[in-house]
Every structure is written in C-alpha cells, then in structure tokens.
Amino acid sequence: MNLVVVVREVPDIQEELEVAADGKDIDRTFISFVMNEFDEQALEEALVLKEEGQADSVLVAALDGEGVDDILYTALAKGADEAVKVIHGLEPPIPTRVRAALLAAALKSIPHDLIFTGVQSAEDWDGQLAPLLGAALDYPWVEVVTAVRLEDGLAVVEKEFKGGLRAELEVRLPAVLGIQAATKPPRYAPVSRIRQLMRTATLKTVEVNEMSPAPAAKIRRLSRPVASRSAEFIEGSLDEVVEGLLSVFRNAGVLRGEG
C-alpha cells in the first residue's frame, strides 16, 4: 500500500501580506513560504498509517516553487520515505486546476494506491485540489476528512460536518482524500535533522509539460477587506487597557455579581 501526500507552499499568512502594484496578486517579493497547514495534517495522517503498519510507504510530492525544497526536506525529516519535486516551468500563482492537471500527469510515473492532500489552502479560491485532482484522475474523492483507516482495497474515512457530526464512508482505491485534521497533531521535525537531510538526501524530480490553460474567472483586483464594523480600540498603558476592558464588560452587564 503506497501513500502519496501532495503538499504545497503557501505564503505565511501570519505575516503581513501586501497587494502587488498591479493589484492582480499579492506581492510575492519579500514574503516567506510555509507548508500549507492542512497538507501538514495530511502528511501526519499518512505517516501514522505507515507507523501502524496499515501502509507500506509514504511518498511526498510537490510542484516546484519557492520554498518547496525546504518543505520536502521537512517532510523527509518527519518520516516520509521519498520526496518528489514536479518540474513544470510555470510562474506563480498557478491556478488550482492547472496544479491538478500537472500532478495528475506526474502521478502516472509515481506508484500510488491512495493520495492525501490538505482540504484547502490559503489561495485556492478557484477550487480545492482534492476534488479537482480526483476528477482529473477519474478517482473518487472525499473532502473534509478527519480519520482514515485502510481495509482490503478500501479506505474507510470519517468526513466531518458542522457541529461534530461525521459520516463514515468507504471509498474504493485509488482515491484522493482532502484532509481537514489528522488523528493526532502534526509532529515536529528537528531543524538539525532537516539540515542533515539537506546534505545527504536527494529530492527526486519528475518533469511534466505545460498544460493548456483551463477556463477560469479573471482576477480584477485584490484588496484588503473593509471592515463591516470597525472595532473601537482600547489603548493606553496596561492598567488603562485593563480598566477599559472591565468597563466594556460592566456596561454589557457581563461582569459577575454586577450583571
């Protein structure tokens, strides 16, 4: 049973993001890239299945892009058996549908029984990868998966709905799963281990040809949201802030013994 985890880099949304001068993309010059947080969950779930003996191997694959080597070495440090970088020659941002087409082409030369990826990413406004990849490969897919176990030729998954309701679904393999959360929190890879692997491990590469452009909605502009309600900021020294908060609570009648 070979598991493939598709991961990608995304701009670190904890940092300041600026809109580029032409207004059509974010400014990618000075931002740092991190592994999509949901891809981290997908990787964790795959690694757990391997450790439990339910799967034989975990291969991690990513389209080439800024920061991708770091992400792939980190995945190896966490316990992935192999890492593959898909070379494509396109400039970012790559539409998700084109990502799906490139990955589907690359997966022809990568043995796989089950494909994991994150349920969504910070910039997939044009559709989530798991259903698009499932459609491109003609495999079944399930989004919002929070648990996976493997049975004979099947993945049995839990798909989560609002309020904690879950559907237990059985899916014939091969299939694509969009992971919302792994069974346990993603593990940490020690920096020393990542550095060591950067010296000793090799990333495999698969080259795919450019795909014909898919139909897409055209970006008019990016902007920062205008607040529908602008918070009144409580400012000043720490004492003033605390007094300000208490007075807000008091006025709303939510202070104990005063409400």
Partner 1 sequence: MGNLVVLAEYLRGAVADVTFELLGKARELGNLLGLSVEVVVVSDRQPDDVTGRLGPADRAWLILHPDLGEFQPEGMARALAAFLGERRPRLVLTSTTAFGMDVAAGIGGLLGWPVVAYCSALQVADRTIIATSQVYGGKVLVEVEIPDEPTVIAALPGSFPAPVGPSAPAAVEIWEPAGLQPARLRLRRWVEPEAADVDITRAEILVVAGRGIKSADNLPLIEELARALGGVVAASRPVVDAGWLPRNRQVGKSGLTVRPRLYLGLGVSGAPEHLEGMKDSQLIVAINTDRKAPIFDVAHYGVVGDIFEVVPALIERLRPEGH
Helix (H) or strand (E) holding 75: helix 68-78
In the bound complex, what is the minimum distance in angstroms from residue 143's beta carbon to partner 1? Answer: 4
Site string for partner 1, 91-130 (x = CB under 8 A): -----xx--x------------------xx-xxxxxxx-x
Picking from 66, 35, 54, 19, the residue whose alpha carbon sits closest to that of residue 186 is: 35
Site string for partner 1, 59-98 (x = CB under 8 A): -------------------------------------xx-
Site for partner 1 in 35-54 (CB under 8 A): 37, 41
Q: Based on the shown chain and the rule CB under 8 A, indicate whether residue 254 belongs to the binding site for partner 1.
A: yes
Nearer to partner 1, 1 or 214 (CB): 214
Site string for partner 1, 208-247 (x = CB under 8 A): ------xxxxxxxxxxxx-xxxxxxxxx--xx-xxxxxx-
Picking from 98, 65, 132, 91, the residue whose alpha carbon sits closest to that of residue 216 is: 98
The CA dihedral of 166, 167, 168, 169, to the nearest 10 degrees, is: -150
In the bound complex, what is the minimum distance in angstroms from residue 90's beta carbon to partner 1? Answer: 18
Provide the residue type at 219 as one letter.
Answer: I
Residue 5's DSSP bridge partners are 60, 116
Peptide bond before residue 95 is cis, with ω within 30 degrees of 0: no
Site for partner 1 in 131-190 (CB under 8 A): 131-136, 140-144, 156, 158-172, 175, 178, 180-182, 184-185
CA distance 156 to 164: 18
